[in-house]
Structures are given as structure tokens and as C-alpha cells.
């Protein structure tokens, strides 16, 4: 399904275009103050921050369904092998996390384990209800309610709010950076994912993706033209409403010096719901344009979507040393405009690379390695020899 590959490539683009002005997390050491630089930063955040990650999570759920469904059609229970596949992804994430603490591969792998039992749930309505439950971040709602009731624990600031950029990232050597990623960065990543509600929403989005795969949303796009149009209108309305009403609604929540968290968490929750609505706008708008005659243009993203794993890792391998102290240390001098332009040029280069790569190979290098590890064999087609389809391994 090239449309799904193109959407995944678009999500990868969005994630990278957030990481670049973010200077791979070092932006927060010295945030922009110049009006132009701040406007560029805010524009990128408004369009892609939180949305691109959500798109990847949703695509992960669709891919999970496709893999399990294709195996089931052959009469194969792929559950055990899929769990092993996630173990391999987690291992790659752990290795990548030594280089860049913001790695998301390990998070996707761990949360992917929760998809396995839900795959056996046959009721689409029940799956949708569970997905909505997680998307609404129940733990955050409980904390808001407890905070309003005066519970002391619920009125303690979230721990990741007080985090600072480790000095070793700014001016340390490579060994010190890796050490910090191991002893502090790994734990901080999971703390952020938990306290911010990302883990809950990731599971909900993955379930939505699995459900979209189950109903044939991407396999039979012609059957969902009206649903996409209606969904886009609803998502756009919700996004605009949440954007305009977030602050007024947040101010309605009572707050005192001793009870400040419910208001702050309400603002964070409404912001996350805006991100979900905006993500739906991006997804439905992209798919609508793709199947509405824009496939030739948007299809250029498909090769990137087919090697998302490789390109995602490659982005940090190249640009973490550009910004971090052990490399060029440009975190202190690169402006938001420069970072954005560099990101656009770099992603264009990655697109060219992906198009050229797939002229000769069936899979991206890490995708091939992941596939070979999944089936515990090196006998996986890699180099194209002729124009036929890859033989010997199931999808």
C-alpha cells in the first residue's frame, strides 16, 4: 500500500523537522528570543510537534495489523514471532539510545507488546472504546481529580518539568555523552513518556491504527471517501476549537499556591487533545489529497516510508554530532531558520537516497536486518535480481 508508505514518510519528515529546530533536544539550553526565530520555532511546533510522533504510532498499529493478518491468511499464528520482532526493535532502540537519548524505537517496541492481546478482540466497537479510553489519558484525569480534592501527591510538580539539559551534552566528550545517556538519559526518556501521557496516547493511537487496518481504511481507500471528508471536517473543527479554547478552559480550573497542578495538567491535557485533532487533520488531509489525484506528488515520500527505521536512525547519527559538544557544537550558534533550512535540505537528500536505494535493493539496510533477525535466517532477499517480486519470505 503505497499510500500508507507515503504517510509514514510524511510522519518521518514531520518528526525530523521537529528534531532539527529542537537541535536534537539542545534547543532548551538556550531557547530563541529573537521574534523571527521564535516565530519559526512556534510554527514548526504548531504543525508537527506531537503530531508527527502520533502519526508514527498510528502507522505502527496499521503495520501490526497487516503483519498479523497476512500471517493469519496463510494459517500461521505470528504472535510469538512478532513478540520476538519487538524484542529486536527494543534492542536496536537501546543501542540507538546510547547515541541519542530521545530514541523512540524502544518505546514503540515495549508499547507494541500491549497490542498483541488486543489483536484477539473481535469487536471493533470495543477496540475503539479502549483506544479512546487511553487517548483521554485516564491517569492524568485521575491526578487532576485528586489534585482538586486536595491530595498532596497530586499537587506535586511533574518531575520532568524541572529537568535541565546535561552540561556534558553541551561541551563534553563522546564517552561522557554516552555515559550520561545510560545513567540519566534512558530514565529521563521513560519519565517524560509516562508523566506527559505519551505512553497512554501511544497505545491508544496504535489501537486506532490496528482498527483502521482491520476495516480496510488503507487497503480500500475508495470505500472511505465520504468518511474521510466528514472526519476531516470534524477533526479540523475540534483542532480549531481546542486551539482557541484551551487557555480560557484552563483558567476555569481552580488554582491556589497549594493546588496549582490541576490547572497546569488541564492545560497539558487540552494541548495533547489539540495535538491529536491536528494529527487527524494531517492524516486525513494527506490521505485525501493522495487518493484525490495527488498520489504522483505525495508518492515521492513512499520510499522514505519504506525505510523509516534506517532513515530515522541515520538522522540522529548525522546530526547529533552536529549539535552536541563532542562534535561541531553548533547548538550555541545555529538559528532556528538555519536549522529548519538544513533539515529541509537533509530530508530532500534522504529522499533522493531512498529512491536510488530501492532501484537496487528490496529493503532498507536496517529493515533487512530486522527482517532477517525476525525469521532467524540470512536467506532474505536483499539485492534485486531482475524485475520480479522478492521470493522466499512472507510479508
Give me the residue spans of the domains in the chain: 2-360
The pLDDT value recorded for residue 299 is 94
What is the spatial distance between Cα 248 and Cα 271, in angstroms, rounded to a whole number? 12
pLDDT over 70 percentage in the chain: 97
Residue 391 has pLDDT above 60, yes or no: no
Handedness of CA 284, 287, 293, 295 (dihedral sign): positive
CB within 8 Å of 334: residues ≥ 6 apart: 23, 323, 342
Residue 392 has pLDDT above 80, yes or no: no
295-301: list long-range contacts, CB under 8 Å, 24+ apart: 295/2, 295/3, 295/6, 298/6, 298/10, 299/2, 299/6, 300/6, 300/351, 300/355, 301/5, 301/6, 301/7, 301/9, 301/10, 301/13, 301/351
Find out whether 374 and 81 touch, Cβ atoms under 8 Å. yes
Tell me how far CA of residue 163 lies from CA of 139, 160, 307, 341, in angstroms. 21, 5, 33, 29
C-alpha cell at 165: 539539559
C-alpha cell at 356: 536510488
pLDDT tens, 6-41?
A: 999 999 999 999 999 999 999 999 899 999 999 999
The pLDDT value recorded for residue 394 is 38
CB within 8 Å of 55: residues ≥ 6 apart: 7, 8, 10, 11, 14, 279, 282, 283
Find out whether 232 and 14 touch, Cβ atoms under 8 Å. no
Q: What is the mean pLDDT of residues 211-232?
A: 94
The pLDDT value recorded for residue 386 is 64
Find out whether 241 and 247 touch, Cβ atoms under 8 Å. no
Residue 216 has pLDDT above 80, yes or no: yes
What is the spatial distance between Cα 390 and Cα 44, in angstroms, rounded to a whole number? 39
CB within 8 Å of 43: residues ≥ 6 apart: none
Band (pLDDT 50/70/90 cuts) for residue 163 is confident
The pLDDT value recorded for residue 257 is 86
Q: Mean pLDDT in the chain?
A: 93
Residue 42 has pLDDT above 90, yes or no: yes
Q: Which residue, 155, 144, 163, is CA-closest to 257?
A: 155
Give the number of residues written for the chain.
395
The pLDDT value recorded for residue 116 is 92
- The model carries a pTM of 0.93
Residue 389 has pLDDT above 90, yes or no: no
Burial of 285 (0-12, 13-18, 19+ CB in 10 A): middle
pLDDT tens, 49-105?
A: 999 999 999 999 999 999 999 999 999 989 999 999 999 999 999 999 999 999 999
Find out whether 306 and 359 touch, Cβ atoms under 8 Å. no
pLDDT tens, 251-261?
A: 999 999 889 89
pLDDT tens, 331-383?
A: 999 999 999 999 999 999 999 999 999 999 999 999 999 999 999 999 999 99
Count of beta carbons in the 10 Å neighbourhood of residue 326: 17
Band (pLDDT 50/70/90 cuts) for residue 390 is very low
Residue 144 has pLDDT above 60, yes or no: yes
Amino acid at each position: 500500500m503505497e499510500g500508507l508508505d507515503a504517510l509514514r514518510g510524511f510522519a518521518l519528515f514531520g518528526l525530523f523537522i521537529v528534531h532539527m529546530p529542537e537541535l536534537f533536544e539542545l534547543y532548551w539550553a538556550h531557547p530563541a528570543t529573537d521574534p523571527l526565530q521564535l516565530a519559526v520555532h512556534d510554527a514548526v511546533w504548531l504543525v508537527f510537534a506531537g503530531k508527527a510522533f502520533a502519526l508514527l504510532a498510528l502507522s505502527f498499529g496499521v503495520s501490526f495489523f497487516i503483519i498479523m493478518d497476512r500471517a493469519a491468511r496463510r494459517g500461521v499464528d505470528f504472535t510469538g514471532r512478532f513478540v520476538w520482532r519487538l524484542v529486536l526493535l527494543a534492542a536496536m532502540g537501546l543501542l540507538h539510545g546510547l547515541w541519542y537519548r530521545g530514541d523512540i524505537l524502544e518505546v514503540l517496541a515495549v508499547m507494541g507488546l500491549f497490542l498483541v492481546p488486543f489483536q484477539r478482540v473481535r469487536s471493533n466497537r470495543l477496540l475503539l472504546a479502549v483506544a479512546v479510553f487511553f487517548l483521554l489519558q485516564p491517569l492524568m484525569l485521575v491526578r487532576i481529580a485528586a489534585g482538586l480534592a486536595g491530595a498532596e501527591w497530586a499537587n506535586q510538580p511533574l518531575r520532568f518539568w524541572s529537568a535541565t539539559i546535561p552540561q556534558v551534552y553541551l561541551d563534553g566528550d563522546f564517552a561522557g555523552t554516552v555515559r550520561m545517556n545510560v545513567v540519566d538519559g534512558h530514565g529521563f526518556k521513560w519519565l517524560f513518556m509516562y508523566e506527559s501521557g505519551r505512553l497512554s496516547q501511544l497505545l491508544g493511537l496504535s489501537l486506532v491504527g490496528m482498527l483502521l487496518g482491520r476495516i480496510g481504511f488503507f487497503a480500500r481507500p475508495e470505500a472511505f471517501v465520504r468518511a474521510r471528508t466528514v472526519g476531516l471536517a470534524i477533526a479540523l473543527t475540534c483542532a480549531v476549537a481546542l486551539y482557541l479554547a484551551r487557555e480560557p478552559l484552563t483558567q476555569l480550573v481552580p488554582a491556589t499556591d497549594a493546588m496549582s497542578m490541576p490547572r497546569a495538567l488541564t492545560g497539558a491535557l487540552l494541548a495533547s487533545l489539540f495535538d491529536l485533532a491536528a494529527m487527524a487533520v494531517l492524516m486525513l488531509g494527506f490521505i485525501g489529497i493522495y487518493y484525490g489525484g495527488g498520489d504522483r506528488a505525495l508518492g515521492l515520500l513512499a520510499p522514505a516510508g519504506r525505510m523509516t527505521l534506517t532513515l530515522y536512525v541515520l538522522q540522529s547519527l548525522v546530526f547529533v554530532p552536529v549539535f552536541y559538544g563532542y562534535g561541531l557544537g553548533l547548538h550555541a550558534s545555529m538559528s532556528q531558520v538555519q536549522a529548519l533550512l538544513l533539515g529541509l535540505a537533509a530530508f530532500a537528500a534522504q529522499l533522493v537516497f531512498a529512491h536510488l536505494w530501492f532501484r537496487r535493493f528490496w529493503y532498507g539496510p536496517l529493515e533487512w536486518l530486522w527482517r532477517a533477525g525476525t525469521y532467524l535466517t540470512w536467506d532474505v532477499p536483499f539485492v534485486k535480481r531482475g524485475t520480479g517480486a522478492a521470493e522466499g519470505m512472507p510479508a
